[in-house]
Amino acid sequence: MERMPQPALESEAPDFTLDALDPDGNVRPVTLHALRGKWVVLFFYPADFSFVCPTEVRGFASLHEEFVAAGAVILGVSPDDIRTHRAWAGELGGLPYPLLSDVANEVAQAYGAAVEGQPRPDRATFVIDPDGLLLYTERVARNVGRGVVETLRILQALQTGRLCPADWHPGEQTFDPALDAPRPQLAADV
């Protein structure tokens, strides 16, 4: 089984159309291209009704307002069908963002989050900018949940369009190499 390569950073994110269970319990298609102009946090998870996945899905739900305030749309994707998503969302008490159904795992494969023939994707997170460019990717072993707070921090850092040091948080200093950094004087300049 060969893993599809992940799309390169700053390349166009692979487009897709998948059926989604929206927060109101309706089924509607979600197309990535239709979300142009918005930041998108796309996360793949292995399965509904599992052990680690609910902690992640609830984590994104608990920070949903902060993601919305940052101008981002959250999309959760697994190979479970809409009926299963509906039952699981009900068990979780509802979700404020849609769960998409990638039954054939094709979108997960296009993003390099699954191996061809593998029935379930890895835990993978992607941040896509308003122009449809892929600016952040993360893949984690299935036994470890991703850091939702870190995903929000990364989104906020990317939105500055500036250089952000390690462990940067909103309100802290950023840098613009063209304006902020002193230019080192080279021997040729003397």
Catalytic one of 53, 99, 124, 154: 53
3-state class (DSSP) for residue 177: coil
What's the rounded Cα separation, in Å, for the pair 128 and 35?
10
Q: How would you classify the pairing of strands 123-128 and 27-31?
A: unpaired
Q: Two tokens at 70?
A: 């940052």
For residue 30, list its beta bridge partners. Answer: 18
User: In the annotation, is 164 catalytic?
Assistant: no
> Rounded CA gap, 142 and 74, in Å?
20
In this structure, are residues 113 and 138 in contact, taking their beta carbons and an 8 Å threshold?
no
* Closest to 53 in 3D by CA, of 30, 84, 19: 84
Look up residue 86 and give its two tokens.
Answer: 């509906």
Inter-helix orientation angle 53-62/148-160, to 10°:
50
Cβ–Cβ < 8 Å for 10, 133: yes
Active-site positions? 53
